[in-house]
A = this chain, B = another copy of it.
Amino acid sequence: MAEQAKGGAQARTAITPTRDEDYAQWYQAVVRDADVAEMSHVRGCMVIKPWGYGVWEQLQRTLDREIKKAGAVNAYFPLFIPLSYLEREAAHVEGFAKEMAVVTHHRLESRDGKLVPTGELAEPLIVRPTSETIIGESMADWVQSYRDLPLLLNQWANVVRWELRPRVLLRTTEFLWQEGHTAHATHDDAMEYTLRILHDVYTRVVEEDLAVSVIPGEKTPGERFPGAENTYCIEAMMQDGRALQAGTSHYLGQNFSKAFNIAYQTAEGGQENAYTTSWGVSTRLLGALVMTHADDNGLRVPPRVAPHQVVIVPMLRKEGAEEVLAYARRVADELRAQTFAGGRPVEVLLDDTLYEARDKKWKWVKRGVPLLLELGPKDMANDGVSYLRRDQGPAQAVRGSRADLVAGVGALLDEIQDAYLAQARAYREARTRRDITTFDAFKAYFAEGGENAGAAGQPGFAISKWCGDEACEEKARDLGVTIRCLPFEQSGGEGPCVICGRPATVDAVFARAY
């Protein structure tokens, strides 16, 4: 780990390498050094560490509250899916039937000191990659009458998609998510709900809590979820200019309800298939958090998703240690009595572990706690405090009175929260081109080390016209660029398709993506 300097142009950083030196390595170093997660010894699987899981718990709490406000209730469905379920919905199996964990045996026997699988299953089971099929099976039982609709279900669960090239938090064999599954009486009701989740739950929580700015829009047919009629998404820009899909909401029409016979008796006595939706966000959001807010000293966590908004590190000498600890406890208690974010109590951790104060300071800088207080004999003598605002870098300690900090901590945390979102939004805007109208300019922009390459040698987003032809989308894909979405916010004008030059009216977000 690099030695810390207190400032200056040549300041060494807590994370090695820096973003500019090697973006991919920097990402892995932050995830590890900030105690967010790590790859386990089990191929492709990760361990979510306590600090990272703590952020996930904050996200879960807010998402769960908003999902319930939207009328859905939680339930839990089996981890294992019989092969035959997957075979039922043709487009779904086509899109997914590739890399999955397959359970084939249900017993182990000890032979010559080794454990050997026995008890072969008549029908192999898949570890769920997503649960449309298994939940569809239950929905078919539960939905009988129009009075049972809408049926609005959500599940918090782990899912498995075998990854040959895993990347911690972004692409792992196992990850955690919520998956919503709903059934409705009409197309309109289902479509409205699909969009309600995208706007009122996903866009709002990801922007307001995670402080990650996103572009909501619709996927092209070629980028849809297997079996969906429409897929909507929110797309964020990472610090290397690449896009990351942060959440999706799918309108499934009657595809799954026909495959799984989710039918209801109408008020008039007829029979109709329901219209279904599904939607999810995952622990991938923790990767988005790192790639949006981390810097060369580690993670920076927006207050609303921080497990603690404040950490206090007492600076103890042999003499007077008890008094300083007592002062630190008093400050902690006073801060805990304050609120932020419209009424949430401020969570304060007093780090009284046996490590050196200096090591503890850098541990919390790297984890990115919003406010880091270092309290020593001098602070106590002055009835004062000194603290670091993580959004302003570790070199700029602020000194103030205890009373002022206590009275102002709520407003300060809200200010930090707003600053993170503003930074993320400004970053994306600065790296988004809206003036690329020719394929030559497009190719130049997305070329490695091209004209607009940022620090990491990468372009950002191009919002340009697309004629709607899949052949044009394919030509972009040949350059490693995809249409991330057709944003809901459209400029409205007409112009040449950026790929083929034919007249086009639709704006599309083009980018390299994770």
Contacts and interface: CB of A to CB of B under 8 A. Distances in A.
Contacts of A48: 75-76
Interface string A71-108: 00111111111110011000001000111111111111
A501 interface: no
For chain A, give the interface size range. 35 or more
B353 A40 contact: no
A81 B42 contact: yes
Contact of A101 (B99, B103, B353): B103
Contacts of A157: 158
Nearest to A76: B48
Contacts of A87: 113-115
Contacts of A83: 108, 115
Contacts of A40: 77-78, 134, 137-138
B104 A99 contact: no
A400 interface: no
Interface stretch (A121-129, A313-321, A369-377, A473-481): A121-129
A340 interface: no
Interface string A467-510: 00000000000000000000000000000000000000000000
Given A107-B99, A115-B93, A124-B117, A75 B57 contact: no
Contact of A354 (B50, B103, B147, B160): B147
A171 to B, nearest CB: 15
Contact of A50 (B104, B126, B153): B153
A316 to B, nearest CB: 14
A120 B232 CA distance: 36
Contact of A75 (B49, B98, B114): B49
Contact of A78 (B57, B104, B108, B174): B174
A112 to B, nearest CB: 11
A355 B147 contact: yes
A49 B101 CA distance: 26
A110 interface: yes
A137 to B, nearest CB: 6
Contacts of A125: 42, 101
Given A40-B134, A355-B147, A174 B105 contact: no
A105 B104 contact: yes
A147 B353 contact: yes
A105 B102 contact: yes
Nearest to A37: B76
A311 to B, nearest CB: 14
Contact of A134 (B42, B107, B109, B134): B42
A102 B100 contact: no
A266 to B, nearest CB: 12
A53 interface: yes
A102 B109 CA distance: 12
Given A82-B42, A134-B42, A103 B76 contact: no
A326 to B, nearest CB: 21
A385 interface: no
A102 B104 CA distance: 6
Given A174-B79, A174-B80, A176-B76, A98 B93 contact: no
A106 B102 contact: yes
21 contacts: A40-B78, A40-B134, A42-B78, A42-B80, A42-B82, A45-B78, A45-B80, A48-B76, A50-B74, A50-B153, A79-B174, A80-B173, A93-B110, A97-B115, A98-B108, A99-B107, A100-B107, A103-B104, A103-B127, A147-B355, A158-B158
Please list the 10 inter-chain residue pairs (A to B) with the smallest Cβ-Cβ separation, ordered nearest first. A45-B78, A48-B76, A102-B105, A50-B73, A147-B354, A106-B162, A102-B117, A42-B78, A104-B104, A101-B103
Interface of A: 40-42, 45-50, 53-54, 57, 73-83, 86-87, 93, 97-110, 113-115, 117, 119, 124-127, 134, 137-138, 146-147, 153, 157-158, 160, 162, 173-174, 176, 353-355
Given A40-B138, A45-B79, 18 more contacts: A42-B125, A45-B78, A47-B76, A49-B75, A50-B153, A53-B75, A54-B74, A80-B101, A83-B115, A86-B115, A87-B113, A98-B108, A100-B106, A101-B125, A102-B107, A105-B124, A147-B354, A157-B158
